[in-house]
Structure 1
Amino acid sequence: MLTGKLRNQVDKIWEAFWTGGISNPISVIEQFTYLLFIRRLDDIHTQREQVANAIGVPLNNPVFAPGQEALRWHKFKNIDPQQMYERVRDQVFPFIKNLHDADSTFAQHMKDAIFMVPKASVLDLVVQLIDQLDLRDRDTSGDLYEYMLSKLSSAGTNGQFRTPRHIIRLMVAMTAPVLDGDKSDTLCDPAAGTCGFLMAAEEYVRACYGDPVLRHDNDSHFHNRMFTGFDFDQHMLRIGAMNLLLHGVNNPTVAYRDSLSDHGEGNIREAYSLILANPPFKGSVAYDELSPDLLSALGKSPKKAQTRKKTTEHGEEAAEKKGPSEKSELLFLALILRLLKTGGRAAVIVPDGVLFGSTKSHQAIRQTLVDKHKLDAVISMPSGVFKPYAGVSTAILLFTKTGNGGTDDVWFYDMRADGWSLDDKRNALLSEAQQEALNRRLLGEAGEPFEAHEQCNLPDILDRWFAREGEKGRVRSEQSFLVPKEEIVGNGYDLAINRYKQVVYEEVQYDAPQVILARIKALQQAMEQGIEALEGML
């Protein structure tokens, strides 16, 4: 949670870029990220130097080689602005572009990166402002990114760019990523954006298992195989790759890929043990662009677009392709089932329409989750969670890929509060101490009972989730309960919580009609007397 001071500092930096001639919000975030990255590299190198000096050994794995001292943040931040500008443009920026081997995913993303700061005075101002940021707390970097992303005017259209960080952390905590030798998870987000889910998973793993470098087998898996993200927005991927590097993941797989498209033999199958995602759900995708197996999973047969004649405004005839399409949120669920290994698990945000939609595709994917795999939970979230960008009601689906069923009881939870107001302002409802306690719980730490349930249900969700066997005794009028598979099948695989929730109506006692009429007469008399008194004053 960013302090007011830090927000003001970020706002000043944003304004410096904007008044300096960089008006595109994504470009601002990119340039901001490059400079944060440069500063962080210097901090990492300094930390390694301090450790080496403290234990009396040579510096291992330095960021800056001998002869590159001039490229470090603290070496150029106070020099003449024009000299600084030329050094950053001509030496430091090329250095970060070539920081990794040419074959690494980071290098692939950075090869098209452009240094866009237009003049020395703008760079000098921004460097001085960034240098004042207090980024010692790892959480601050994530909050800072979330705040910057909230400034994107495109966030309302591309809601996948920004999932509230506490919701991401909740999903990570519920799936509890593992880093333990051969039992270690391989994580993927097929709609990664800026890699928020992967970074939250990295934080959780470090909090629960400590520094992975302490065990060699864990260290190699953590840095090279544990984290994978796909997206088709190069700008977001570049930011995500840098962000993961800043969080200490040396070689994550962050790749440019349209996850829903048909890649033929390159289609990925059964590759990951855990998938965390908030896929885009604001449109439909034409059949021509899709992998056929995804359509088959939704009970559809691939069809080609039909060419038909269309008359233009000038009276000319032109060919127009018109073909069937399918909703992206359903396609991503089918994709996630394909990507998961048998026994793999997933936590996915979906719009409420997925839970009760009546189309053949909606029913097919729900039936697949319930009958062919193991649907574990449906967490209904309030519509204000994604405000001010969208007011759509959403839910979190948690399921395990089995291929042969396994659904017995599905756990439903009615989330009513997430710690922030549910209006466009999204003001924090928790004190700083309560926020810190919440963050500790979401990082897997045990703690005292959370005393702000009315303001935030997230700790209660975790407590009940990890004690689901005890939920069988709960009645349907409570905030969570279990529903047997047979009942869900009998309701046409409807997964809307209101289908199963028992509403308790409170009996209200009304006065007798004669008493109510007497009150009305008394009010009428008082009105007449008031009117007469008013007339007497005129």
Structure 2
Amino acid sequence: MITGELKSKVDSIWNTMWSGGISNPLSVIEQLTYLLFIKRLDELHTLQEHKSNRTGKPIEDPIFNKKQNHLRWSRFKETAPETMYVTVKDDVFPFIKTLGSNGGAEEEGDSTYSHHMKDAIFMMPTPRVLANVVDQLDSIDMADADTKGDLYEYMLGKIASAGQNGQFRTPRHIIRLMVDMTAPTPKDTICDPACGTAGFLIAASEYLREHHGDAIYKTATSRRKFNSGTFHGYDFDSTMLRIGSMNMLLHGVENPDIRYRDSLAQSDLDDAERFSLLLANPPFAGSLDYESTAKDLQQIVKTKKTELLFLALFLRLLQTGGRAAVIVPDGVLFGSSKAHKALRKILVEDQKLDGVISMPSGVFKPYAGVSTAILIFTKTNSGGTDHVWFYDMQSDGFSRDDKRTPEPDKSNLPDILKRWQNQTGEKKRKRTEPSFLVPKDEIAGKDYDLSINRYKEVEYEAVEHDPPQEILQRLAKLEEEIAEGRKEMEGMIG
């Protein structure tokens, strides 16, 4: 969670840019991201230099060559504001636009990153504002991945009103839980069809590095697959694509496939059955026009509702045997329309529905109070649902109010992961406990309703009451006392 010190630093930088004339919150984030990226490049090059000095070997693929030393953060930050402004605007900014080719496998400038950076604009209004922001950013250590994540989380929180329902902001601890539960492997091809700032893809890349680092970097082929063939993301907001691809590059994925695409629209690109893992929190924007929606999605489920269309899309994108962990609004679980029921039936009968995690409504506060759930399923096209695992999450480790104060002792997340990974132990769990298994036949008998309250049992404690006769006698006695008291008061007044 972001510290008070980091929060006040970001607020101060934000105010500097705001008062300097950059009023669009997304533009503020974009400009800050460019500067953080430039700073991080210098930090990475410094690490390369230290390694070179230690080993006595020259730097392989240096970020800056000798003629580009003036482009480094540590160099230009020492110059006068006017000089710094010209350097960043005319030299540094064009330089970062061409970065990101994967070790010579592509022509420089052809990477995903540089493709999205082509339209990037340097918007810092004056040398004074730039110098002020550079000075403040310099005091933030970006080497720590958690600091980077916290920083992004806090900045994105400031623009909840931008975009639809702040759809690009999923809390990192929820993302991490979903990634841990699906346990990506180096063989996976991972997609988020509504990727925003690429939070799910970054978390998946961190999981792979942590658990399969040796396999990823073992050969040039495996390294290329990790950097260019594993991660795929779509979005139709070009600013988000820039921030997302830059974010991936900062997190060590050199050339992810992040591209402009309206995932629900009719398209010539055919990604059907291409991916083995889907991680997503798609926007729940309401309804779409039939004409603009991909016809093959309408064949799966005839609806205008985006949350149902996205579920249909996930089924189309997944390979047979592929798995998905996705966030859906609660309405998907119990909606009574024909489309709602049809889609739930497909998940339970034609595919393998593995788990439903009901989340408290406070998870997305203060940006939205909507109740949501995590659906985990495997595409089989031949059924396979035996039992469905349900978990009633009461706390995600933060208070449910707008302040979202950390409450780690109350968090259900460690318990969710532990129980998910040991489902044989779940068979004996009672319906009164936080997690339990429900047989497929029972779900089918309840119109494929997936809301946990249809299956959860509540234990009521027996409360003993006095016999009614005794209570009535006490009431009569009280009435007598009240009447006497009133007479006494009347006598005093008279």
Match of 1:507 among 462, 469, 472: 462
Aligned: 1:284 with 2:287: yes
Aligned mates of 2:126, 2:490 — CA distance in 1: 74
Match of 1:111 among 97, 115, 118: 118
- Contact in 1 for aligned 2:288/2:306 (Cα 8 Å): yes
Aligned pair in 2 of structure 1 residues 532, 340: CA closer, same or farther (>3 Å)? same
Partner of 2:105: none
Aligned: 1:257 with 2:235: no
CA-CA distance at 1:467 after TM superposition: 0.7
CA-CA distance at 1:511 after TM superposition: 2.1
Aligned mates of 1:515, 1:119 — CA distance in 2: 83
CA-CA distance at 1:209 after TM superposition: 2.1
Partner of 2:217: 213
Match of 2:310 among 327, 332, 335: 332
One-letter amino acid of the counterpart of residue 70, structure 2 = A
Partner of 1:476: 431
CA-CA distance at 1:376 after TM superposition: 0.4
CA-CA distance at 1:210 after TM superposition: 2.8
Aligned mates of 2:131, 2:308 — CA distance in 1: 48
Aligned pair in 2 of structure 1 residues 116, 155: CA closer, same or farther (>3 Å)? closer
Partner of 2:326: 348
- Contact in 2 for aligned 1:377/1:398 (Cα 8 Å): yes
Partner of 1:268: 271
One-letter amino acid of the counterpart of residue 288, structure 1 = E
Q: Deviations over 1:228-261 (max 9, x none)?
A: 1100011111111111100011111110000111
Aligned pair in 2 of structure 1 residues 530, 233: CA closer, same or farther (>3 Å)? farther
Aligned pair in 2 of structure 1 residues 12, 537: CA closer, same or farther (>3 Å)? farther
Partner of 2:46: 46
CA-CA distance at 1:523 after TM superposition: 5.5
Match of 1:146 among 148, 153, 178: 153
CA-CA distance at 1:159 after TM superposition: 3.0
- Contact in 1 for aligned 2:165/2:367 (Cα 8 Å): no
Partner of 1:246: 250
When normalised by structure 2's length, the TM-score is 0.94
Aligned mates of 1:17, 1:533 — CA distance in 2: 71
Aligned residues: 485
- Contact in 2 for aligned 1:348/1:396 (Cα 8 Å): yes
Aligned pair in 2 of structure 1 residues 535, 102: CA closer, same or farther (>3 Å)? farther
One-letter amino acid of the counterpart of residue 97, structure 1 = K
One-letter amino acid of the counterpart of residue 505, structure 1 = Y
Aligned mates of 1:527, 1:66 — CA distance in 2: 100
Partner of 1:485: 440
Partner of 1:27: 27
SS in 2 for 1:516: helix
Partner of 1:76: 76
- Contact in 1 for aligned 2:363/2:400 (Cα 8 Å): yes
Aligned pair in 2 of structure 1 residues 526, 122: CA closer, same or farther (>3 Å)? farther
Aligned mates of 1:42, 1:274 — CA distance in 2: 34
Q: Deviations over 1:412-450 (max 9, x none)?
A: 1111111001122211112xxxxxxxxxxxxxxxxxxxx
When normalised by structure 1's length, the TM-score is 0.87
Match of 1:204 among 202, 207, 212: 207
Give 5+ residue unaligned stretches, structure 2.
Answer: 101-107
Aligned mates of 2:82, 2:300 — CA distance in 1: 59
CA-CA distance at 1:532 after TM superposition: 5.3
SS in 2 for 1:424: coil
Aligned mates of 1:85, 1:213 — CA distance in 2: 39
Aligned: 1:167 with 2:174: yes
Aligned: 1:418 with 2:396: yes
Aligned mates of 1:521, 1:134 — CA distance in 2: 74
Match of 1:231 among 235, 241, 245: 235
SS in 1 for 2:195: coil
Q: Deviations over 1:118-170 (max 9, x none)?
A: 00110011000000012231111011101100000425843321111110000
Aligned: 1:383 with 2:361: yes
Q: Indicate the RMSD between aligned Cα atoms, in angstroms.
A: 1.9
Structure 1 residues 382-461: aligned runs within 5 Å: 382-430=360-408, 452=409, 455-461=410-416
CA-CA distance at 1:527 after TM superposition: 9.1
Q: Deviations over 1:268-307 (max 9, x none)?
A: 1111110000001121111100111101101x3xxxxxxx
CA-CA distance at 1:227 after TM superposition: 0.8
Aligned mates of 1:250, 1:22 — CA distance in 2: 30
Aligned mates of 1:112, 1:79 — CA distance in 2: 28
- Contact in 2 for aligned 1:231/1:256 (Cα 8 Å): yes
Q: Deviations over 1:87-135 (max 9, x none)?
A: 1111111111122333221111111101111001100110000000122
Aligned: 1:466 with 2:421: yes
SS in 1 for 2:390: strand
Aligned mates of 2:99, 2:169 — CA distance in 1: 28
Aligned: 1:369 with 2:347: yes
- Contact in 2 for aligned 1:381/1:416 (Cα 8 Å): yes
Match of 2:192 among 189, 193, 199: 189
Name whichever of 283-292 and 150-159 sits farther off: 150-159
Aligned pair in 2 of structure 1 residues 270, 515: CA closer, same or farther (>3 Å)? same
Aligned mates of 2:47, 2:381 — CA distance in 1: 48
CA-CA distance at 1:530 after TM superposition: 8.5
- Contact in 2 for aligned 1:270/1:339 (Cα 8 Å): yes
CA-CA distance at 1:522 after TM superposition: 6.0
One-letter amino acid of the counterpart of residue 357, structure 1 = G
- Contact in 2 for aligned 1:155/1:389 (Cα 8 Å): no
- Contact in 1 for aligned 2:160/2:166 (Cα 8 Å): no
- Contact in 2 for aligned 1:149/1:155 (Cα 8 Å): no
Aligned pair in 2 of structure 1 residues 520, 10: CA closer, same or farther (>3 Å)? farther
SS in 1 for 2:288: strand
- Contact in 1 for aligned 2:97/2:109 (Cα 8 Å): no
Aligned mates of 2:426, 2:189 — CA distance in 1: 30
- Contact in 2 for aligned 1:349/1:394 (Cα 8 Å): yes
Aligned mates of 2:491, 2:229 — CA distance in 1: 87
Aligned mates of 1:534, 1:267 — CA distance in 2: 90
SS in 1 for 2:66: coil
Identity of aligned residues (%): 59
Partner of 2:104: none
One-letter amino acid of the counterpart of residue 284, structure 1 = S
Aligned pair in 2 of structure 1 residues 528, 48: CA closer, same or farther (>3 Å)? farther
Aligned pair in 2 of structure 1 residues 456, 523: CA closer, same or farther (>3 Å)? farther
One-letter amino acid of the counterpart of residue 53, structure 1 = N
